[in-house]
Structure formats: C-alpha cells, structure tokens
Amino acid sequence: MKTSFYQLLMLPVFLVGFNACTKSDAQEIQNQDELVPVKVSQVVADTLRPLVVVSGPIRSDSEAALSFKTGGIIREILVSEGDHFTAGQSLATLDLTEISALVAQATIAVGKAERDFNRVSALYQENAATLEQLQNVTTALELAKRDLTIAGFNESFSVIRAPYSGQIVRKLMNKGEMAGPGIPVLLTTSTNKSDWVIKASVSDKDWAILQPGQQAVVFLDAWPEVRFEGEVVRKAAGSDPVTGRFPVDVRIRTNHLTPAPGMFATAEIRPVISRQPVTRIPLGAIVEGNGKKAFVYVPLSDGRRVKKVPVTLSQLDNEFAWVANGLSGISEVVSAGSPFLTESSFISIIQ
C-alpha cells in the first residue's frame, strides 16, 4: 500500500511534465507548419558604386548643317529628307553661271599677266626695262594667280558634297531659292554606329562622380528588351545657363541596330566613388531602416530559423544597399520575405 501511495503521489507531476513537453513539441510542429517562404542572396564584397541614371535624346556625334560657301540661286537639290548618302556624294548645287564667269575672268587675267611678265623679263635682260617694271609685272602675275585660286575654290564649294556617309535629317531650302553664304541648306547626321551619343544633363552631385571612360548600360524606348553597352565620353566643364544642369554625353554601342536621331534613351552608370571595402546586398534585405542604421535577417546554420542583425549603411540606390559594417563573417542574408519575419519565425528557402 505504501508503494502504491508514492506512485499515486508522483502521477500528477509526471502528467504535468508530459503535458508541457507535448505542448512544446506541438507548438514547434505548428510553427514549422507556418513556414515563411524567403529568398536568400550572397553578401558580396564590393566598392561603393551608387547608381546614376541619366536620360535624354540620342544624337550622332557627327551631325552637320551643310551650306554653300558663296551665295547664289540653288540649281538643284539631289536628295530628299530621309535619304542615305555616301561620303563625297554631291547633295546640292548652285547655278554656276556667275561663278564660272568669275573663274574664266580670273583665268584670262592670269594669261595676260604671264604675257606681260614674259615681255618685261625679255626687255629687262636687254637692259630695256627697269627692275621696278620687272617687279611690278611679277607682283601682278602672283596676284592674278591668287585670284584664280580664290575663284576656283569658290566654284568647288558651290556644290555641297557629303563629308561622311550618313542620312538627310531635314531639307531647309529648295530648288530656285536664294542661298546666302553659310546659310544651312541640309541638316545631316552620320550613320556610323560608333557616333551615337545620349545628350543628357545631370545634377552637380552626379557630375562630381561621373568621369569619361565609366561604363554604362543603356536602354532605348524603341527596343525596350535590348540592353546596349555604353560609355561616358564627355562631361561639360560648366552648367547650362538655361537649365542649370551639367551636360554629359554617353556613347552607345548600337550593334546591328540603327537608331534615329531624337530617340529617347536611358543610361545606368555605376561609378566607383570610394575604394574603401564594403559589402553589397539587395535592397530588399533591409528592414527597419533609420538613417544609416538598419537590420537584416540572416539564416541560421540549420536553414530553418533566422537571426536579426543590425548593420550600418554606406549608400542606397533603387537596387542595392552598401553596408559599412555588421556583416562580418556572414555570407547570406534574406533578400525577399524579410517584412514577414521575426526571430521566432521558421523559414523555407526557395530558389
């Protein structure tokens, strides 16, 4: 009876302990049934590379407004808007009546000056002419030759010839109109694939970190699915007086595609602004950010639970976060699903 009494006395204690273990196990099983799906990403050693986005129309670096050197009546324009042309091709001509007459007149003047020179030279050899007379006819001959050179030069530039292979963007004048010296007649653009640039403008903050030679990824609205390579080729020494922003040119490698002048493009540039080692993680990994302070969730070694880790941020953009400290010795962080986690959560890592 004594043994039975002690057994009966211990039975409630055993039942309480068993019930507690059963509840704890059941709670853990329930938590595991409520797994939070997450994605993890590698912590990458990097230098500080913020994202600078520039946009603007694309233009050929070899655009030209072609004109006649001398004024006159346009005899013929040999191209239309949109036409392609090759280097050296004739694009437009003036009526050459007046200019050709000036060339003929200069040619006749040279002939007369040569005869005068020969005559006076012979007389000078016979002491029948003075040195001054010889010098005068020599000068007159040289002047006549220079006049012929000028007339021939003007005649050659009474025809507009293509300085490069390209395309007619706009025809500003037509046959029969009076063209003044240097007044644009045709607007042209080069079709060389290495000549296309984005004419963009940036803030003073972005201008300070952009340098020629930095690589870019370029997107054109005309081909949204294509990623083009690009490079910063120029940045202005001063701001635009109208907008107050700083012009920047980004050259595009268009590969087999041929854009049209004026198409809109966007370039993403990641300049290195600090050589100090930092770590880079996806922006989605950041939770509870406050200034430079934030938290990330780190998966534990069992792959089922997470730990909340404080970090100090260096830089953010719309894709990445650069962390100055807090991730030493950590190789992975939760990059998707973080807002739904606590340190008591159980996770399921998905690819």
Question: What average pLDDT does the segment 106-122 reach?
Answer: 95
Q: How confident is the model at residue 74 (pLDDT cuts 50, 70, 90)?
A: very high
Burial of 45 (0-12, 13-18, 19+ CB in 10 A): exposed
Confirm whether pTM is higher than 0.85: no
Summarised one tens digit per residue, pLDDT across range 141-152 is 999 999 999 999
| Residue 121: burial class (beta carbons within 10 Å; 0-12, 13-18, 19+) | middle
pLDDT the model gives residue 275: 65
Q: What is the pLDDT of residue 190?
A: 85
The structural domains of the chain, with segments of one domain joined by +, span: 34-46+276-349, 52-61+193-269, 97-157
> 19 is written with which tokens?
């019930």
Per the CB < 8 A criterion, the answer to whether 93 and 159 are in contact is yes
Residues 171-175: what's their mean pLDDT? 93
Give the pLDDT of residue 54: 92
97-157 and 34-46+276-349 share a CATH fold: no
Burial class (CB in 10 A: 0-12, 13-18, 19+), 198: buried
Quick one: pLDDT at residue 145?
96
Q: Return the C-alpha torsion angle 79, 80, 83, 86, nearest 10.
A: 20
Q: Which pLDDT score, from 0 to 100, does residue 29 have?
A: 47
CATH 1.10.4100 is right for the domain spanning 97-157: no
Answer whether 70's CB lies under 8 Å from 158's CB: yes
Of 315 and 26, the one with more pLDDT: 315
Q: Reply yes or no on whether the pLDDT at 12 is more than 70.
A: no
Residues 289-313: tens digit of each pLDDT: 888 899 999 999 888 899 999 999 8
pLDDT in tens, 50-68: 788 999 999 888 888 999 9
| Partners of residue 290 on adjacent β-strands | 293
CA dist 278 and 287 (Å) reads 19
Residue that is written with structure tokens 């986005």 in the block: 53
Q: How many CB atoms lie within 10 A of CB 64?
A: 17
Look at the block and give the residue holding tokens 């070899």. 62
How would CATH label the architecture of 34-46+276-349?
Beta Barrel (2.40)
What amino acid occupies position 293? Answer: K
CA distance 247 to 186: 26
Who has greater pLDDT, 139 or 49? 139
Question: For the ranges 9-13, 137-141, 158-162, 202-206, which has the lowest average pLDDT?
Answer: 9-13
| Pair 66, 74: CB distance under 8 Å | no
Distance from C-alpha of 275 to C-alpha of 48, rounded to nearest angstrom: 7
The predicted pLDDT at position 15 comes to 36
Q: Any idea which architecture 52-61+193-269 has in CATH?
A: Beta Barrel (2.40)
